[in-house]
Amino acid sequence: MSIEIRDSPQFYLTAPTPCPYIKGKQERKVFTHLVGERAVRLNDLLTHGGFRRSQTIAYRPACESCRACVSVRVPVADFVWSRTFRRTLRDNADVVSDMRTPTPTSEQYSTFRAYLDARHADGGMADMTVLDYAMMVEDTHVTSRLIEYRLSGPDLPLNRRGEGPLIAVSLTDVLADGLSMVYSFYEPEQHLRSVGTFMILDHIRRAKAMDLPYVYLGYWVEGSKKMAYKARFLPQERLGPKGWDRVES
């Protein structure tokens, strides 16, 4: 007699689709569901093994002839605050950040929509509606947070809660060993501030303050301009066949 172990995750493989990072390549993903009481623990384990989360799905590349997607994490205790990174912090000294429960707002969606239209108009998320955005934020069984980034200072317009203009948002998972940046977006008109870089630096500071050793940045893809920025955060660890390998430069 066979016994079905209901608490064991079941993994599935997607059909090949065009790769969004390397022209001419096909991608496949292996995925499982993150639901129920096991979701938090399973998300920790799978993130450590190179998976990413999208709502209640954990996935990772499973391409037959390509291993270009490499999971990257930053060891916060050893992170090198270069002159460029310190300048980015100074340039954003008027930005305040607040970690909140994952509750979507129309203000967030406005920023999300502007970001997609300016940076990813031909991407897979380009047609996301306000309801799709709400699902992206709320549909989770793990410890997830939204970090809002707002301008501060005199003579700025304030919302009903007395907060300054929203310029960026990060959907972030709080893991047992770090912060995982699930998805981040920002107002395109603020690009001269290097807001994307600033959000990563803020996560590094937050993780250190929370006594968490890592910030997970997702996949770095060698040869992809979209992912090249992740290689700047050093030292970092990249997941290889034998585990996490440290990269200094």
Reported as a single tens digit per residue, the pLDDT across 158-179 is 887 878 999 999 999 999 999 9
7 pLDDT band (50/70/90 cuts)?
low
5 has pLDDT over 50 = no
Q: Give the residue ranges of DSSP H helices in 164-225.
A: 195-209
What are the structural domains of the chain? 72-218 (3.40.630.30)
Per-residue pLDDT, 4: 40
Half-sphere exposure of 190 (CA within 13 A, CB side): 25
Provide the greatest CA pair distance for the chain.
73
Helices (H), 158-246: 195-209
Helices (H), 120-211: 130-138, 195-209
48 pLDDT exceeds 90? Answer: yes
pLDDT tens digits for range 61-108: 999 889 999 999 999 999 999 999 999 999 999 999 999 999 999 999
**What is the pLDDT at residue 242?**
92
Output the pTM of the full model. 0.92
Q: Which residues are CB-contacts of 143 (< 8 A; sequence separation ≥ 6)? A: 40, 173, 174, 175
